[in-house]
Amino acid sequence: MSLEACVGSDCQTFPISADIIINSYCDISTVTQRHIDFGFIGGANIENVASTTGLLTTKCSEANGGNYSITLSGGNSYNGTRNMTNGGYLLPYELLYGGVLWDPGVEVTVPGDGVSHDTEVGARTVPTGASLLPGIYTDTVVVTVTY
């Protein structure tokens, strides 16, 4: 195929368009630490606070030139407080962002600039003074990224 210049009336010109749609995206699969581990706590009564941290790494596109938000669910046994469970036993705990309680539905805003951002999640048990059954206490909190 050769490109020739139009000469006289032997030519027609028409426009063609080139289009691409780039969807906004968000990568939350790069969570550095999904598991918040309090380790071992001795004794049947939880009188002292145990604390730890986790790190969420997210990367979202520049969707509409704005930010995105991260919210956390209440977990599996939320009753005004998050609870880890072992059978019918509850061990209350709190999640925090910047030292402030991160309740279900509270949004943490992160820049939507296509760059990875770390969001530290603090965690601490809530002393109850109640007797607890020895064993493994667990909970699952759903992380939602809205962009």
Is the residue at 133 inside a domain?
no
Separation CA 114–CA 122 (nearest Å): 25
Q: What is the mean pLDDT of the chain?
A: 83
**More confidently predicted of 107 and 24:** 107
Domain harbouring 68, CATH code:
2.60.40.1090
Residue ranges making up the domain that contains 76? 26-128+139-146
Is the residue at 11 inside a domain?
no
Put simply, whether the predicted model's pTM sits higher than 0.85 gets the answer no
Helix (H, G, I), strand (E, B) or coil at 59: strand
Find, among 52, 118, 120, the residue nearest to 84 by Cα: 52
**The tokens 């020895």 sit on which residue?**
134
Tens of pLDDT, residue by residue over 28-69, are: 754 555 678 888 776 656 667 788 888 888 888 776 667 889
Is the residue at 21 inside a domain?
no
Q: Number of folded domains in the chain?
A: 1
